[in-house]
Amino acid sequence: MSCTVCAYAHEHSCWPPDHRGTHCKDCHRSWEGTAEIHCVVCHRQFSCSNTLEFHKHGTQCLDPAEVLWGETDEPRFRIRDSKYGVVWVRVEERDPPRVGAESPSRVLVG
């Protein structure tokens, strides 16, 4: 076994007690939450299924760094760092609030 999570799962038929989320046995990437999605072909991590679909061209994966908006040639994706590594998100997606960050005292609504 090439990683401790896979070795534990192989021996005990479950994830280690301190492991939260899921894990790819091929690239050994872990992640938490149900919103993120992992491409089982290229093993890149995406923020949601819609974002994953934009990087597909038929059965081939495109490099998210090279996927551009058609009219403007602006990048469609950007990288967000997460606890387990890089996650590709759409340029317009907002980053999740940081744990422990102060929340605004008021929010203006449209």
The percent of residues above 90 in pLDDT, for the chain, comes to 21
pLDDT at 103: 46
Could you tell me which residues are beta bridge partners of residue 60? Answer: 57
Q: Return all residues near 19 (Cβ < 8 A) that are at least 6 apart.
A: 5, 8, 30
Q: What is the pLDDT of residues 26-61, one digit of tens each?
A: 999 998 877 889 999 999 999 888 888 888 888 899
Model confidence at 104: pLDDT above 60? no
pLDDT at 76 over 70: yes
Task: Say what the pLDDT of residue 8 is.
Answer: 92
Burial class (CB in 10 A: 0-12, 13-18, 19+), 77: buried
